[in-house]
Amino acid sequence: MTQVTVLDYGMGNLRSVAKALEAVGASVSIASTVPDGGSDLLVVPGQGHFGACVRTLGDAQLDAIRAWIAADRPYLGICLGLQLLFASSEESPEPGTSIIDGNVVRFRDAPKVPHIGWNQITPGPAGDTWFGSLDGARFYFVHSFYPAPTDATLTAATSTHGETFCAAVARGPLLATQFHPEKSGDAGLALLERVVKAAA
């Protein structure tokens, strides 16, 4: 059984994330620090403010996330867990981790901000593994900012809300989504099942 650690830093819907992962066969533990070992998959959820996320995690845990990903270990980021992978955000002056080149930007041509609700996704260049059979599936979003990777080939999915935006990135065993798979019904569970199986 895939051992999953969900990182608790006070800014995620931990119980919903854990229950969704358990529903697809994972053994889940919630921890306040990135584990040294004994876990197959690190999940970093989060909702709220980019700067608060970076400050709350602190240098030690941000460095631990960098080390986890640098070791090519499976990682799933959700919402802020995606955004913190980038160098910076227009939401706040605090720097991100720069694990992925690029920045997090504010919607400019959206009909309404924040973007809240269900939207279809389209697989991107890095999306075959994760989204190959989920083209057109609907996922649940709650956000005012989205990532803009410098290398567009890392885009795993896009969606459209007035403008087309990056909805997920992937690189090796790393997948991070702007939407919330734990709130996205059957499509979300299908995606989480793939992540859990890939990490086993």
Q: Which residue has the tokens 């605090």?
A: 94
Residue 174 has a CB neighbour count (10 Å cut-off) of 22
Neighbours of 57 (CB within 10 A): 23
Strands lying side by side in the sheet with 164-171: 27-31, 3-7, 41-44, 75-78, 174-177, 164-171, 155-160, 122-123
189 three-state secondary structure: helix
Neighbours of 63 (CB within 10 A): 13
Active site residues: 79, 180, 182
